[in-house]
């Protein structure tokens, strides 16, 4: 039963399991104590720190273990912002950061700070120039992921780091998705990672802060982990995290070649096998194991459910799979289709057969979902009795959720002459993203969005 959601959580690496078991016996005591059990725990903690620091590319005393990647990000951002409070309270982040970064940024705004969110291109990458333009005199910190957890696109970290260095602004790199594949390019000031993303156990993150970076931990004082991660160390898990990071790194090059070939197969074959699909993310500068695509006229939640029934575990950035019914902020920032979105992220052991099996079932499942939606959607509605001229048509989809507005748009567009317009009334957040994306895919013109009493009015001109 292939599990294709390594970007959410990788199955435990065998080395992590072995190390965890060994450390349960040797590493349960308090490493701050001076008796033998404490000294043994301290030795394990020190060795784990050495190993993780080497993998990260920093000194052991620059690295602290946190209770999760999210905590590493939260503590890294709040500590760096507080450490440079005198410089100012401006924070720069990319628009496609992990939610932990964006939530920390919102929290900073709630406390009176200001935040610039740097836009990305259609591949999901920031432009170093645009990122640099967001830096100000009062910028205390900049944050950029090493690679996108949703679409796999690698960011130009080295270039952005150089620009930040010139501007005297520390750069925090969220390396959660890429640490398994190699060290982050030089130039970062702070770095965050998460063990369960590389095959380590849950409950361990890491935060590296370069010597010389001003850093003031926030919240109640605590003597553990240099005052940067309060609470008793999650020691056996830390040992397992460090051991598995070494192990996955040793295998990274070989695994990357294999998985990149499998991902290439998905990138190539899915658009051939499934009509009306958009594969998103940079085709070259990307993580080796991750690919994301979106399917027009498909309800993402239903597709995920069907894939699960067929034995494939994937995730999605479609609005219908989110508790807030908004599409993924990453797809939104990229301006790409969000409906029928599927993220495939392959764990290390994925075989050719797994991927072939996926490619074998996907077309039928997508077709099935489309058929059901087509059947349940009303027949091409007759044009509203609106006072609009003949070559335009108003389509009322208020109250209908993704992908229905786009399905209905596709049905009615033939009802206006080439050059005519369809105005789609919609209060669905996903329509704002998916109607323009549909236009780009179907070579129609997205004229723009107009205000409406409820929701928005999306104007589409028929070109073909």
Residue 58 annotated as catalytic: no
- CA–CA distance, 84 with 78 (Å, rounded to integer): 10
Residue ranges that bind its own copies, judged by CB under 8 A: 1, 3, 5, 8-9, 11-12, 17, 20-21, 24, 28-30, 33-38, 67-71, 74, 78, 99-100, 103-104, 106-107, 194, 196, 201-205, 219-223, 230-237, 304-305, 307-308, 313-315, 321, 323
- Closest distance to its own copies from the beta carbon of 309 (Å): 9
Minimum Å gap between C-beta 122 and its own copies is 27
Give min distance, CB of 97 to its own copies, in A: 12
Contact 48, 238 (CB under 8 A): yes
Exposed e or buried b per residue across 243-271, where buried means at least 16 C-beta atoms within 10 angstroms of its C-beta: bbbebbbebbeebbebbbebbebbbebbe
Is the omega angle on the peptide bond into residue 237 within 30 degrees of 0, that is, cis?
Answer: no
DSSP H/E element including 445 = strand 445-451
Q: How far is the CB of 463 from its own copies (least distance, A)?
A: 39
Residue 464 neighbours by CB distance under 10 Å:
8
Please report how close the Cβ of residue 134 comes to its own copies at its closest, in angstroms: 21
Q: Which of 143, 320, 402, 439 is catalytic?
A: 320
Side by side, the strands of the sheet bearing 290-295 are 277-280, 290-295, 341-345
The residue among 106 and 268 lying less far from its own copies, judged by its C-beta, is 106
Residue 11 CB, nearest distance to its own copies (Å)?
A: 6
Angle at 409 between CA 403 and CA 412, to 5 degrees: 140
Listed in sequence order, the residues at least 6 apart from 60 whose beta carbon sits closer than 8 Å to its beta carbon are: 46, 49, 50, 53
Residue 203 corresponds to which tokens in the numbers above? 């409950």
Of 7, 90, 45, 431, give the one whose Cα is nearest residue 243. Answer: 45
The DSSP code for 413 is G
Q: Between vectors from CA 288 to CA 349 and to CA 301, what angle results, nearest 5°?
A: 80
Q: Which is nearer to its own copies, 67 or 444 (CB)?
A: 67
Which residues are marked as active site? 320
């Amino acid at each position: 039963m292939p599990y294709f959601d390594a970007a959410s959580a990788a199955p435990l690496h065998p080395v992590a399991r072995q190390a965890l078991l060994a450390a349960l016996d040797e590493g349960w005591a308090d490493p701050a104590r001076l008796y033998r059990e404490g000294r043994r725990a301290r030795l394990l903690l020190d060795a784990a720190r050495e190993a993780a620091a080497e993998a990260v590319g920093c000194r052991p005393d620059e690295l602290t273990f946190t209770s999760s990647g999210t905590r590493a990000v939260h503590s890294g951002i709040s500590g760096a912002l507080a450490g440079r409070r005198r410089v100012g309270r401006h924070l720069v982040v990319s628009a496609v950061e992990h939610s932990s970064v964006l939530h920390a940024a919102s929290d900073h705004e709630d406390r009176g700070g200001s935040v610039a969110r740097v836009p990305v291109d259609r591949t999901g990458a920031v432009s170093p120039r645009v990122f640099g333009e967001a830096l100000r005199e009062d910028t205390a910190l900049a944050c950029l992921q090493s690679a996108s957890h949703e679409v796999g696109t690698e960011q130009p970290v080295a270039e952005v780091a150089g620009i930040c260095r010139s501007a005297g602004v520390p750069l925090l790199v969220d390396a959660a998705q890429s640490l398994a594949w190699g060290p982050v390019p030089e130039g970062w000031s702070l770095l965050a990672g998460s063990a369960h993303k590389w095959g380590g156990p849950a409950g361990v993150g890491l935060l590296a802060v370069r010597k010389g970076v001003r850093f003031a931990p926030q919240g109640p004082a605590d003597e553990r982990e240099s005052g940067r991660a309060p609470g008793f160390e999650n020691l056996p898990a830390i040992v397992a995290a460090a051991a598995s990071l070494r192990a996955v790194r040793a295998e990274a090059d070989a695994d990357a070649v294999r998985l990149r070939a499998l991902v290439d197969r998905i990138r190539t074959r899915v658009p051939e096998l499934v009509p009306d699909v958009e594969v998103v993310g940079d085709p070259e500068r990307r993580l080796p194991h991750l690919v994301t695509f979106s399917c027009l006229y498909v309800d993402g939640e239903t597709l995920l459910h069907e894939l699960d029934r067929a034995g494939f575990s994937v995730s999605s950035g479609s609005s219908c799979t989110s508790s807030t019914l908004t599409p993924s902020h990453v797809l939104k920032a990229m301006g790409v289709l969000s409906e029928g979105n599927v993220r495939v992220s392959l764990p290390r052991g994925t075989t050719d057969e797994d991927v072939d099996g996926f490619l074998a079932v996907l077309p039928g499942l997508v077709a099935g979902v489309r058929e059901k939606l087509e059947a349940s959607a009303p027949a091409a509605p007759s044009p509203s009795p609106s006072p609009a001229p003949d070559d335009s048509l108003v389509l009322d989809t208020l109250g209908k959720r993704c992908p229905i507005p786009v399905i209905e748009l596709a049905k009615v567009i033939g009802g206006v002459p080439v050059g005519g317009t369809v105005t789609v009334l919609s209060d669905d957040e996903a329509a704002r993203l998916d109607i323009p994306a549909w236009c780009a895919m179907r070579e129609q013109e997205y004229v723009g969005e107009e205000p409406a009493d409820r929701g928005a009015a999306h104007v589409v001109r028929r070109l073909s």
